[in-house]
Structure 1
Amino acid sequence: MIPIQDNIPTHRFAIITVLIILLNALVFGVELLWTTGGDAAIRALGIIPAQATADPLAAETLRRLLTSMFTHAGVLHIGSNMLYLWIFGNNVEDVMGRLRFLLFYLLCGAAAAAAQILVNPSSSIPMVGASGAVAGVLGAYLLLFPRARVRTLVFFGYFGRLVDLSALWVLGLWFVLQLFNGLLVIGAAQANMGGVAFWAHIGGFVAGMLLVWPFLIGRPRPQISRRSF
């Protein structure tokens, strides 16, 4: 199930969302040009749970926490994250305001990393990706626009069909799947097990739902207008 667009128009250009996407693309380009290979880039830029657990407030840990949010493991990884960020992030930025949205995004990313580290604190596998921060955006969007319509590509076997679904269904189902997979792997977590950081997704999503209202204090209430597809 791949979201294509939503029907909530924005009132001004989402410059922070675009800049985040461009920065992610720039870092991915640097990864591709990294002289010692992409894996070395991931190890240099990703946050390593075992190191973060040993010294969580060290400058190196905080640096890796930041750089890991803009580092990705492949084209599909960055492509899916940036697609979700573009579709849902522009509306959250529009309601929240630019600087608040930037801080919100970074805090959700930090909360996501913390959640994954708590589940697997001894792992020596670097964690990378914007997924946790983007998950926070999804959590905020779900609370702000639960009845928004999201044009979604749904696959039936080898065939795909465009279907208009409510954000409640699209994002709610996404979260349920993350939670289901997270519960499956939590008991099997091993120090050096890689793969998808489901608990980062879960932590980011929950953080987004908890932080969205404090970040809207003093902001105008969102005017929910919708456009037809």
Structure 2
Amino acid sequence: MLRRPGGEIDQKRLLNVPGVVLLIAALNLLVFATIVVLPVRAANTLVNIASVTPRWFLAGAEANGGWLSMLSPLISHMFLHAGLMHIALNLLWLLAFGAPVARRMRAGDALKSFSAFSRASLFMTFYLLCGVAGALLFIYMHPKDLIPMVGASGAVSGLLGGLVRFAFNRSTLFGPEYAAISPLTSQSVIVWSFFIIAMNAGIGLFGGLLTGGAMIAWEAHVGGYLFGLLAYPFFEKLAISMR
């Protein structure tokens, strides 16, 4: 439980998720619901078009019917999920990691002013680029795969990377907003990064035992995390500069 200096519990702080994070969650739910209600053939066609398939991507723009068809799955795959448990876990971590990062970037109240809208847009850009980085590492690691990769995990992992750069310089996760950014060489960043990457590698090796053989794109998690870890300070500095 979180208490203010005076001792009272700041429930608003705990429950008030920035609107841009809720928007991302809502878009994921909308796409998931659409896939569920579509006829099976139409749903499968949409998933094939919008998911990341390494061999198709690496075939180039001409083989994919143009640059848009080739590149758009790098974004659209983040809004597709393989099942209810998949989307539930991703949305849970989206709220957990996204809320403090969005607040840190002052990305709340997007409709309040142009600068607030700009910061919310910047947060969305950071989120999407984390997902793109995750997809690109997955493609690099599986260049011949024809199995489509979907899910927001790479983007959400990028939010975790951003969180690691500042969360451990504060008394609590919900403490003072602008504690210093931790350098990449700090103990907290090194320890947490080692743990997160090792955990994901372990999931890649043994996760199939827990998922009935379903593949987990742990490379996308690591790619998104590393991008978020490295790029977050730039995005925060840019967000703060938006007056």
Same fold by TM-score greater than 0.5: yes
Q: Which residue of 1 aligns with 2:27?
A: 23
Residue 189 of structure 2 corresponds to residue 196 of structure 1: no
Residues 55 and 94 of structure 1: is their aligned pair in 2 closer, same or farther, counting only changes over 3 Å? same
Bigger relative CO (Cα 8 Å, ≥ 6 apart): 1
- Measured in 1, the distance between the counterparts of 2:221 and 2:165 equals 17
Letter in 2 for 1:15: G
* TM-score, normalised via structure 2 length: 0.69
1:70, distance to aligned residue in structure 2 (A):
0.3
CA distance in 2, matches of 1:10, 1:140: 19
Could you say which structure has the higher strand fraction? 1
Matched, 1:47 2:56: no
Structure whose alpha-carbon radius of gyration is higher: 2
Distance 1:174 1:68, change over 3 A: same
Q: Structure 1 unaligned runs (5+)?
A: 1-6, 151-165, 186-192, 222-229
Higher helix share: 2
Shift of residue 66, structure 1, vs aligned partner: 1.7
For the pair 1:79 / 2:79, whether they are aligned, the reply is no
Distance 2:37 2:17 in 1: 31
Residue 122 of structure 2 contacts residue 239 of structure 2 at CA under 8 Å; is this kept in 1?
Answer: no
**What percent identity do the matched residue pairs reach?**
32
TM-score between both structures, scaled by the size of structure 1: 0.73
Aligned-pair Cα RMSD in Å: 3.2
Mapped to 2, the partners of 1:28 and 1:36 lie a distance apart of 13
Q: CA deviation at 1:211?
A: 0.8
Residue 9 of structure 1: CA displacement? 3.9
TM-fit CA distance, 1:132: 0.3
Report the equivalent of 1:157: none
The count of corresponding residues between Structure 1 and Structure 2 is 192
Residues 1:210 and 2:230 aligned together: yes
Per the TM alignment, residue 86 of structure 1 is displaced from its structure 2 partner at its CA by 0.5
For 1:121 and 1:23, locate their aligned partners in 2 and report how far apart those are by CA, in whole Å: 29
- Change in CA separation of 1:180 and 1:14 when aligned onto 2, cut-off 3 Å: same
Quote the residue 1:106 is aligned against.
128
Once the two structures are TM-superposed, the CA of residue 45 in structure 1 deviates from its matched residue by 2.0
